[in-house]
Amino acid sequence: MSPSASTEQPSPGRLVVVSNRLPVTLSQTNGEWEARASSGGLASAMEPILRQTGGLWIGWAGDDGELDPEQRASLLSSTAQDFAYIPVEFPPGAGEAFYKGYPNQTVWPLFHLFPARMNFDPPSWHDYVAGNEHFAATVAANLREGDLIWIHDYHLMLLPRMLREQDPAIKLGFFLHIPFPSSEAFAFLPRGDEVLLGLLGADLLAFHTHQHLQHFRSCLLRILAIESSMDSVEYQGRTIKLEALPIGIDPTGLASLIQHDPRTKERIEELRSQYADKHVIVAVDRLDYTKGIPERLHAFRTLMRQRPDLKEKVVMLQVAVPSREGIGEYQSLSSEINELVGEINGEFGTPQWTPVMYLRQSIERSSLAALYAVADVAWVTPLRDGMNLVAKEYCACKLNDDGVLVLSQFAGAAVEMGEALLVNPYDEEQVAAAVERALSMRPGERKRRMRHLRERVSRNDVFDWARRFLKSLAAVGLEQTPSAQALNVRAVEDAYKKASRRLLILDYDGTLVPIQDNPGNAVPPDALIRTLTRLAADPGNVVAVLSGRSADEMEDWLGAVPGLHLGAEHGALSRKAGTETWEHLVPTPGAMEWKAKMRSVFEHFVQRAPGSFVEEKEYSIVWHYRRVEPQFGHWLAAELAGLMEGLLAETDARPVLGRGIVEVRPVWVNKGLFASHLLAEEEPSLQLGAGDDSTDEDVFDRLGEHAWTIHVGTGRSRAQYWLKDTGAMLRLLDTLAATAEARAA
């Protein structure tokens, strides 16, 4: 797909790109400020679409508050496009603190699986939050209705949530350009739960590979206990789409340089003349410990020791683009590479031949294209990489299909580039053998492998990547089934004031109190007792707390609240306000022979999952697994529920999956029965039901479409509204209680 094809409008909305840096960087040279345009892949992909929509690019200009707004605007205008650059303003020093702190000293090493290099201190987190807040303020000030917001990369992982809280109706996508780590690694990240919640503010979350996507899903489950499907997650009444979209490059632009640009052609001839009798190996990286440059040099030394006949017949051109030079670890890395290059050249070099040509500098795109075009082998072996576009750029420049790609299996590009020689960059003997094979590969095999690679790179280019992302983002809301909307507390309060008789049916665990790993710890706090007491004291209210817990627990915890109706075991048992007797709303349990059979099966699962336990109630039996490792627990729960379906086929009992539980109970026991019982005795002008899991859906159904039905927490629900957590629910009840008291006064 060509750049011109990318200008097809993906949606009627204006595109707003948000990244840490603008495609223009302001920097000082000899005391003078200048603006330099970026030639990166992201800029190549975004600029045609931004021009077509008259869009915005919001980011940091790099001056760190040293320039006044007029100077900055003047410099940026010198590189003006048919779209606007909007710089994010930072106080002096704050931009550097934001950039060099939490994102690059905490997130970067951990996401690339270098936890030993991770540094964290609380001030860096506060700088990260403040930096995202600066971005949020700039974005919010420049939005208009219908905009599509596309946020890029790990510097801005808190931004989606910040913007969502300001405007729940926005369309917002996020793309992560670095790997997403496994849940085991992510668990080390300080404030990792807040990072995940920040990302969940998006409508579309995209990653380079399906592996990164699955790691994200695993983290949601393990860290936040949020379940997801392969391509979506339900959160706060929204469906967030999850996609794997590997980024591409602009192959047409590179090919054009090689075919038509005089400077590139001249440089190609110079390189061919300079290395006419040698195999050329090229490696191009940012100067970063994730790129595996020392490991590559060790492997090259191994190759030269094993193949002395390659002396004066091969040259390795290592380009290392300076990166984050103000950070100590990068200075140490630079010194290590210099020493290794010196050792290798000293051991193998001759007066006529330098084995390793080390270029520690940025390189112009035309020179880079020439280097790729001439190189016999590209040595791309990062220790960990989200994608690595060098691999794709090299293939795009091999117009005669005459090169070999040696590629790390830990680069995201490896998923798409199976014709490359894939290696483990930590195994220097394996890597050396792969490079040796690349140098000696027969022309037919070289051409066949490279032809497939080049065709795929050309087909899946950066413009196709952008078009697919924006098409998915534009479709947000069109493909989704209706779900709950955020509750407007003021609207509930107004309806509550007008109603003469009100029925409130409230679930307990997960709605009034947070879910606990040990259910016995979910004791109602004093604040909840006071709020329920105030609500139940209003003569216009009928207030009921309904739970799957036993009657004894409900009595112990809430029995002393005057005027409160209680429901236990999902409504099978009821205790009316002002009484001490529990009555059966369904037939008495009787023998319930299936319980004994289920008890033995449940005990078997307790043995398989340390931390789980069995609870037996009058009408049901429950396996609790909240203290089990989440992924293993959910897997076992699904297995147990499937097993129960078969074992209970001839009975009136069925398994029910809840939050951290598998419960077996008769089909005629459900919370809707309790709601119907209260509705039969009352004629409320306002009905309100609140719950957090699937067992509460029956209450919502019985209360009907005109009731205020509220789902608390994550997940899809038939409720009309949602609140984010138990704290929000308690604040709502406090508001309603205060409303009645003010009216009575």
Work out the pLDDT band at 479, boundaries 50, 70, 90.
very low
Work out the pLDDT band at 484, boundaries 50, 70, 90.
low
> Minimum mean pLDDT among 111-115, 212-216, 662-666: which range?
662-666
Per-residue model confidence as pLDDT tens digits over 226-255:
888 888 998 887 889 999 999 999 999 999
Q: Both tokens of residue 219?
A: 């983290």
Catalytic residue flag (residue 517): no
Q: Percentage of residues in the chain with pLDDT exceeding 70?
A: 94
Q: Which of 365, 629, 460 is nearest to 1 (CA)?
A: 460
Q: Which residues pair with residue 21 across a beta bridge? A: 60
| CATH fold label, 251-457 | Rossmann fold (3.40.50)
Work out the pLDDT band at 716, boundaries 50, 70, 90.
confident
Q: What phi and psi values does residue 380 have, to the nearest 5 degrees?
A: -120, 90
**What is the per-residue pLDDT for 328?**
65
Model confidence at 155: pLDDT above 90: yes
pTM of the model: 0.75
Model confidence at 325: pLDDT above 90: no
Residue 447 or residue 629, greater confidence: 447
Q: Distances from the Cα of 421 to the Cαs of 246, 299, 430, 468, 595, in angstroms? A: 20, 15, 11, 29, 59
Pairing of strands 661-666, 708-712: unpaired
| CATH fold label, 3-244 | Rossmann fold (3.40.50)
Q: Please tell me the distance from the alpha carbon of residue 167 to that of residue 601, in angstroms, as a whole number.
A: 49
Q: Both tokens of residue 24?
A: 């223009």
Q: Please tell me the distance from the alpha carbon of residue 44 to that of residue 35, in angstroms, as a whole number.
A: 17
Residue 593 or residue 533, greater confidence: 533
Structural domain spans, the chain: 3-244, 251-457, 485-586+669-744, 594-666
Per-residue model confidence as pLDDT tens digits over 278-291:
999 999 999 999 99
Residue 321 or residue 422, greater confidence: 422
**Catalytic annotation, pick one of 64, 461, 507, 692:** 507
Let me know if the fold of 251-457 is the same as that of 485-586+669-744: yes
> Minimum mean pLDDT among 2-11, 107-116, 485-494, 639-648: which range?
2-11
**What is the per-residue pLDDT for 192?**
96
Farthest-apart Cα atoms in the chain, separation: 102
Model confidence at 645: pLDDT above 50: yes
Q: Are 241 and 461 in contact (CB under 8 A)?
A: no
Average pLDDT of the segment spanning 318-337 = 81
Model confidence at 7: pLDDT above 50: no
| CATH fold label, 594-666 | Alpha-Beta Plaits (3.30.70)
CATH code for the part of the protein at 485-586+669-744: 3.40.50.1000
Q: Please tell me the distance from the alpha carbon of residue 60 to that of residue 37, in angstroms, as a whole number.
A: 13
Q: Are 174 and 204 in contact (CB under 8 A)?
A: yes
Per-residue model confidence as pLDDT tens digits over 672-707:
888 998 998 888 999 999 999 888 998 999 997 889
Per-residue model confidence as pLDDT tens digits over 188-216:
999 999 999 999 999 999 999 999 998 99
**Helix 192-199 vs helix 210-224: crossing angle, to nearest 10:** 120
**What is the per-residue pLDDT for 82?**
65
Residue 100 or residue 485, greater confidence: 100
What dihedral angle (degrees, nearest 10) is formed by the CA atoms of 457, 460, 465, 466?
A: 90
- For CA atoms 209, 215, 219, 225, the dihedral sign is positive
Model confidence at 1: pLDDT above 70: no
Model confidence at 11: pLDDT above 80: no
**What is the per-residue pLDDT for 589?**
60
> Minimum mean pLDDT among 7-16, 101-110, 349-358, 572-581: which range?
7-16
Q: Distances from the Cα of 400 to the Cαs of 258, 454, 455, in angstroms? A: 12, 10, 12
CB atoms within 10 A of CB 222: 17
Work out the pLDDT band at 666, boundaries 50, 70, 90.
confident
Pairing of strands 573-575, 583-584: antiparallel
**What is the per-residue pLDDT for 724?**
85
Model confidence at 24: pLDDT above 90: no
**What is the per-residue pLDDT for 190?**
97
Q: What phi and psi values does residue 541 have, to the nearest 5 degrees?
A: -110, 145
Per-residue model confidence as pLDDT tens digits over 410-428:
999 999 999 999 999 999 9
Q: Percentage of residues in the chain with pLDDT exceeding 90?
A: 59
Average pLDDT of the segment spanning 358-375 = 93
Q: Are 256 and 4 in contact (CB under 8 A)?
A: no
Average pLDDT of the segment spanning 453-473 = 92
> Minimum mean pLDDT among 293-297, 330-334, 536-540, 580-584: which range?
330-334
**What is the per-residue pLDDT for 314?**
97
Q: 144-158, 659-673, 690-704: which has the highest mean pLDDT? A: 144-158
